[in-house]
Chains A and B, each alone.
Chain A
Amino acid sequence: GAGVSQSPRYKVAKRGQDVALRCDPISGHVSLFWYQQALGQGPEFLTYFQNEAQLDKSGLPSDRFFAERPEGSVSTLKIQRTQQEDSAVYLCASSPRSGGGSSYEQYFGPGTRLTVT
């Protein structure tokens, strides 16, 4: 079946521009995650949704970062007034897990590479 998809795959933004990154999770997956991966580093957690509820946004680096999942499926990560330090790959992952007793396995998309010039 279809995996997690992300769009666009590549985005170049000028400093100060706003960007929106889209994630289409696997159909029926309850949980959705956003991660930021800098070059040569491991992914860093940004935020977590269960259905439409954003249960954890402690990893968002500043109030310029905003994520939403209004209908509990597609999610958008928005970055306002982009800065050069925002350049990274943004990964989305989904999981069928909604409560105790099942795997914590996450299924990752290919990521969106954001370059801020």
Chain B
Amino acid sequence: LAKTTQPISMDSYEGQEVNITCSHNNIATNDYITWYQQFPSQGPRFIIQGYKTKVTNEVASLFIPADRKSSTLSLPRVSLSDTAVYYCLVGSFSSGSARQLTFGSGTQLTVLP
């Protein structure tokens, strides 16, 4: 079972780049790394997913080193509306098997004006 560790909180200013790191030392070969954003009273919302190296989409980048024991979510030019809790999720599932999915404890990102 992959245990994940994240910083509890981070502060940033509007327009800055924010990097949030998640440690997952026990990640398994088939596990993927997914990051979610959660606002109060809402369910988590998908941001980005990766297996290894770097993945980029329209809102974020995800960096995964070769040993896959950590990952870093990068949010370019944050705005006030990016204030939320960010979670990394490690795990996988398929038609033939199910693997317990482990969320980190979450990082509260506060973007200041």
Residues in A22-53 with C-beta less than 8 Å from chain B: 31, 33, 35, 41-45, 48, 50
Q: Is A93 an interface residue (CB 8 A)?
A: yes
> How many contacting A-B pairs (Cβ < 8 A)?
73
Q: Which residues of B contact A95 (CB under 8 A)?
A: 93
Known: A4-B43, A110-B43. A104 touches B103 (CB 8 A): no
Q: Which residues of B contact A55 (CB under 8 A)?
A: 93, 97-98
Q: Is A56 an interface residue (CB 8 A)?
A: yes
The number of residues on chain B lying at the interface, defined by a beta carbon within 8 Å of a beta carbon of chain A, is 27
Of all chain B residues, the one with the shortest Cβ separation from A102 is B94
Q: Is B29 an interface residue (CB 8 A)?
A: no
Residues in A81-115 with C-beta less than 8 Å from chain B: 91, 93, 95, 97-100, 103-111
Q: Is A59 an interface residue (CB 8 A)?
A: yes
Identify the stretch in B12-20, B44-52, B60-68, B69-77 within 8 Å (CB) of chain A at 4 or more residues. Answer: B44-52
C-alpha gap A13/B102 in the complex (Å): 28
Q: Is A62 an interface residue (CB 8 A)?
A: no
Q: Mark A50-82, 1 if CB is under 8 A from B, else 0.
A: 100001101100000000000000000000000
- Verify A41–B105 contact, CB threshold 8 A: yes
Q: Is B81 an interface residue (CB 8 A)?
A: no
- Verify B43–A111 contact, CB threshold 8 A: yes
Q: For the A-B complex with A35-B103, A48-B101, A58-B100 known, give 6 more contacts whose Cβ atoms are closer than 8 Å.
A: A42-B87, A42-B104, A42-B105, A43-B87, A104-B49, A106-B44
* B interface residues with partner A (beta carbon < 8 Å): 32, 34, 36, 41-46, 49, 87, 91-106
